Amino acid sequence: MAHKVVVLGIFVADAAYRADRLPRLGETILGHHFMLGPGGKGSNQAVAAARAGGDVHIITRLGRDAFADMARDLWRAAGITPEVTEDPDSYTGSAFIFLEAATGQNAIIVAQGAAARISVADVKARRSLIEGAAVFMTQLEQPLDAAEHGLRLARGAGVRTILNPAPAAALTDTMLGLCDLITPNESEAEGLTGVTVNSFADAEAAADRLIERGVGAAIITLGEKGVLYRKDGTSLQVPARAPGPVVDTTGAGDAFNGGLAVALAQGAAIEQALRFGAAVAGLSVTRHGAASSMPTRAEVDRFLREQ
């Protein structure tokens, strides 16, 4: 039986700045810390899944530059199989990340570079890989037509599909109907449904709207309040727990999605998979960085045993 997780998504180099606040236009302020490291939702989710024990492949585009070398080194260390279209006419993407010193909350600008040129043809070229997976997962940082085609190929082959609808974008009911699972946070859920999510009841209402639009089940991630899973009028709530102080939430959603995907690919029931994903996220927020914060399978298993 296939246990592969196939991720369609982008890699960017994260340039993270920690400061008391964002500067106003025309203003320069001094920061407390800087870190350059690997990022991009698709890449982060692939790293989270691989470090958590998954057999992971990533479909993406890179330029031919130092940031592309960073991507390949990262994936090699994590044990990810890269499925890369090299694009020498563009550049490997980068992200500006502001981290608020007092809270660890973030604000992000992404310039996708070559990843903005991920195409339906790139996805078609990996059809057999997608159709042989246990789980196919994608996000919205690359072009929507490529993401939708990947979901369609996976769904047609009976592969479980996960859409992390980030960053927020308008989606058709046709695309939502290809998703076995959708994993928005509060603001993304509001953008897709019009429901302001401030509570578990709000999350249930937003999830029901998404299910009405065609998704199989909805998982609303609620930050420090945990996650809510909704299907067929029934909900599961899984709390957020961290083994130490929260220092950086940048990769938390990606950690959850990667953990969820690998648990499902390895045959876990949904409640077990939700708890596994929440544990991966809980460990990640106690560390700086995005991909660099993803825990190993041994760390996740130990954390789950201690809960």
As annotated, the active-site residues are 254
> Could you please report the per-residue DSSP string of the chain?
---EEEEE---EEEEEEEESSPPPTT-----SEEEEEEE-HHHHHHHHHHHTT-EEEEEEEE-SSHHHHHHHHHHHHHT-EEEEEE-TTS-EEEEEEEEETTT--EEEEEEEEGGGG--HHHHHTTHHHHHT-SEEEE-SSS-HHHHHHHHHHHHHTT-EEEE---S-----HHHHTT-SEE--BHHHHHHHHS---SSHHHHHHHHHHHHHTT-SEEEEE-GGG-EEEEETTEEEEE----SS-----TTHHHHHHHHHHHHHHTT--HHHHHHHHHHHHHHHTTSSSSGGGPPPHHHHHHHHHH-
Measured at the CA of 172, the angle between CA 171 and CA 175, to 5 degrees, comes to 90
Residue whose C-alpha is closest to residue 92's, from 169, 163, 144, 39: 39
| Interatomic CA distance for residues 256 and 228, integer angstroms | 12
